Amino acid sequence: MAMNHPEDRSTRRHFLTRDAGIAAATAGVVSTAAARAAAPRPAAKATGRVLGANDRINIAFIGNGMQFQTLIRVFQNRRQEKNDVHFSAVCDVWEPRLKYGQEQSGAEKAYRDYREVLQRPDIDGVVLAVPDHWHHPMASQAMLAGKDVYLEKPMTRTVDEAAKLNDLVNRTKRLIQLGGSGPATRLYWKVNDYIKAGKMGKIVWGLISYNRNTRQGMWDYPIPGIGSEPWPDAKVTAENLDWNLWLGSAPKRRFSAERYFRWRKFWDYSTGNAGDLLYHRLGMMSTMVGFDFPTRAVGAGGVYVQKNREVPDTYMTMIEYPGEYSINMVSCMANETSVPVSVYGNWATLQILEGRAAMDAMGDQRRAPSSAEPQRRSRMSAVVKAERQFLNEFKEANGGQTEVTIESETGPSLGDNWLDCMRSRESPVYNVLRGYQVMVAIALGVESYRKGRVMAFDPARQVMLPAGPPHKEFPPAEA
């Protein structure tokens, strides 16, 4: 599938960014909190439309690929239930997906260049479902244009990018809602209350796994297509796909259908298993045990089976936190058997029991096996079982019980919460600080895997460290 894009071809040659503040916000990275503080601080040139009680919220969808299909249903449900949201625009660099996005959403306008969307003063918020390397620049430019942002996970690709987004939210007072599992699920907050009450004793570690398996290889989506659905009649040409705009700040390359349709397999655009899958699970775990910055992380694994990718098909990370507990994360794309998300205290063990995810092996929710439907409707719960050595302490803390079940409750979706907060100006449930804290752990693990060494972080100063401090030792008293 040849497509010739001259390397010097300009994308929207005459299109300029809104102002120098946008350029300052998105150029380069910083390595320390001091450097971020010393850098020029762009002022938001647009403050956003003030929403009245009866105003509809105007949103645009940037990125009309596989995740768009899940998100559009969330916002369509909201529109049907409350009629307080309007789909103003869709945007994608590939015309067939752009046309598909407009058909699915009924949006008034369709754009190839996201900057045209951000120029519209009537648009209140943007939903970003784009490759990872675009998360920081697009979200930054959107906030500087006065928009609130729904940003699909992972938050960014790097620690520095996440720190800059956190700073920018604080300066512009715009809202970011992270699209990931965890904070929007009330069960995890009930578990958080249970743990904080000390009913499991001291939390010492957590275990996360998110595994899949496919015959074709994870993220080997059909070319051309959308998610797991092939589009054999869709054309891919220099005229209908803006390759240079899609590349953005990534290294310049000639067009590659493999990179465009299967971008998660490449480090230039992705954080692999860690950002795609484990970001979800770490959001769940952090909601339960408490959000915090990590102190160090070690990543391991490799490409053991699917030898057509840069990112690992088997990946694991050990993360340490200042609260004196660790979290183990595992993601394997060559064996789908996962273990329950588990929290280990010295008095008891808690496990999250849930049905099989309602999606196919490639993550496409439109193509869930029919057997998954009743499981999706089953209620998720947390089950806590006492350690026999501390049975008496557990029973005393839990009303005489040796096993406790915490039931789930329904609550608003991330999309609903974002829209409500756009009107109230309250902080969203998966706010930028929580997303930043999760992203630091994810990014440290990826850097450790790629560099082959332990990565360390100072939570107080929010800076990367060349090496972590020695672990504490508690020598026994000697007679």
Cα(13)–Cα(131) distance, rounded to whole angstroms? Answer: 23
Spell 27-66 as b/e; 16+ CB within 10 A means b: eeebeeeeebeeeeebebebebbebeeeeebbbbbbbbbb
Tokens 């929007």 found at: 184
| Among the listed residues 203, 206, 195, 205, the one whose alpha carbon sits nearest the alpha carbon of residue 404 | 195
- 410 Cβ neighbours under 8 A, 6+ residues apart: 186
Which neighbouring-strand residues pair with 315?
A: 301, 331
| Identity of the amino acid at 470 | P
Q: Which 8-state DSSP code applies to residue 150? A: E
The residues of the chain scoring below 70 in pLDDT are 1-47, 355-378
For 148, 184, 451, the CA distances from 421, given in Å and listed in that order, are 10, 13, 40
d(C-alpha 28, C-alpha 38), whole Å: 14
Q: CB within 8 A of 174, min separation 6: which ones? A: 44, 48, 142, 143, 146, 147, 148, 149, 168
At residue 413, φ and ψ (nearest 5 deg) are -75, 170
Instruction: Return the structure tokens found at 186.
Output: 């009330």
Q: Are 310 and 450 in contact (CB under 8 A)?
A: no
- Nearest-5° angle of CA 53, CA 55, CA 59? 130
Cα 277 from Cα 143, distance rounded (Å)? 26
Q: Would you state the pLDDT for residue 127?
A: 98
Are the C-beta atoms of residues 339 and 209 closer than 8 Å to each other?
A: yes
Q: Six-digit token pair at 141? A: 């430019």
pTM: 0.88
Rounded to whole angstroms, the Cα distance separating 220 from 357 reads: 20
> Which pLDDT belongs to residue 354?
84
Give DSSP secondary structure letters for 271-306.
Answer: -HHIIIIIHHHHHHHHHHH-----SEEEEEEE-SS-
Structural contact between residues 87 and 106, judged by C-beta atoms closer than 8 angstroms: yes
Whole-angstrom distance, CA of residue 353 vs CA of residue 405: 10
Six token digits for residue 195: 């743990």
* Phi, psi for 198 (deg, rounded to 5): 80, 20
Contact 126, 116 (CB under 8 A): no
Contacts of 320 (CB under 8 A, 6+ apart): 294, 295, 296, 297, 326, 468
Alpha-carbon gap, residue 357 to 22, rounded angstroms: 39
Q: Are strands 348-353 and 342-345 parallel, antiparallel or unpaired?
A: antiparallel
Going by C-alpha positions, the residue among 181, 184, 183 that lies closest to residue 152 is 181
For 389-412, write each residue's pLDDT tens digit: 999 999 999 999 999 999 999 999
- Of 131, 327, 320, 141, nearest in space to 243 by CA: 131
